[in-house]
Amino acid sequence: MASTLSSGAVRVATVEHLMSALSGLGVDNVLVGVNAAEIPIMDGSAASFVYLIHSAGIAEQDQPKRFVEVTAPIEVRDGEKYARLEPYFGFRLSFSIDFQHPAIDQTGQKVELDFAQTSFLDEIARARTFGFMRDVDHLRAKGLAQGGSLRNAIVMDDRRILNKGGLRQTNEFAMHKALDAIGDLYLLGRPLLAHYSAYKSGHALNNQLLRALSQQTNAWRERVFDRLSDAPAAWARQWSWQ
């Protein structure tokens, strides 16, 4: 239910919201210090991390940004669930969810994002994580979500949202899954030039997709741009936000 980085016995869980913020801001060289086994949940979105990254400051370096350009389709499946990458000169996401829950069914369950037009800060960063009361005991038994509450997650029982303030945006459920996917994909270590599409995908399937991509070296190539004018509009727009 989260993405975890590990090296030997060292593990840091729930890195996806921080990674999503780094991706959305175009940060690809960063040192993050942690003193616990899980990244703080903050407000359940990427917005707090965006604020902290801006506060720390973003510096342009004297090396070109290195992209992974997908050159052939690649897909992984788990039953009806799938995650797919296809060639695209930019960064585009198409994500659909289906939780068959009354509160979620009433909202937008599909998002289409193209970073040539989409602002990570304005449209994606504030979408909060969500979960169900029935999962709380399971998470805490694994040592996760120790600070989880209605202040940093959308929480539901079997039929309704329990948060008094409701949703921040009408498609917040689907948008947060897209936010998660952006963070998961950035675990590749470099920004993607690709169209990512998924149905009911989660952290595990996104991880499988990256592993499959890494193993199929004929499905991607490294790409750099010497001039901003040669880069996809998505990344030229992103650099202007900084």
Average pLDDT, the chain: 91
> Is residue 37 predicted with pLDDT exceeding 60?
yes
pLDDT at 143 over 90: no
Q: For residue range 184-221, what is the model confidence (pLDDT) as tens digits?
A: 999 999 999 999 999 999 999 999 999 999 999 999 99
pLDDT over 80 (residue 145): no
The single residue of 17, 101, 195, 203 carrying the catalytic annotation is 203
Catalytic residue list contains 101? no
> CATH code at 127?
3.30.1700.10
Residues paired with residue 92 on neighbouring β-strands, in sequence order: 114, 195
Domain that holds residue 210: 5-241
For the chain, the farthest-separated pair of C-alpha atoms sits apart, in whole angstroms, at 53
Structure tokens of 218?
A: 């004929």
Report pLDDT digits (tens) over 56-108: 999 988 888 899 999 999 999 999 999 999 999 999 999 999 999 999 998 98
Model confidence band, residue 137 (pLDDT cutoffs 50, 70, 90): low
Classify residue 107 by burial, with Cβ atoms within 10 Å: 0-12, 13-18, 19+: middle
CA of 21: how far to CAs of 36, 129, 211, 219, in Å? 20, 14, 22, 27
Handedness of CA 153, 154, 156, 161 (dihedral sign): positive
- Spatial separation of the C-alpha atoms in residues 49 and 222, rounded to whole Å: 28
- Per-residue pLDDT at 144: 62
pLDDT band per the 50, 70, 90 thresholds, residue 242? very low
How, if at all, do strands 130-132 and 154-156 pair?
A: parallel
Supply the pLDDT for residue 5: 95
Residue 125 has pLDDT above 90, yes or no: yes
Q: What is the pLDDT of residue 151?
A: 79
Q: Environment class of residue 168 by beta-carbon count within 10 Å: exposed (0-12), middle (13-18) or buried (19+)?
A: middle
Structurally, the chain folds into a number of domains equal to 1
Hey, what amino acid is at 150? L
Going by pLDDT thresholds of 50, 70 and 90, the confidence category of residue 161 is: very high
Distance CA 127, CA 16 (A): 13
pLDDT category at 147 given cuts 50, 70, 90 is low
> Is pLDDT above 60 for 241?
no
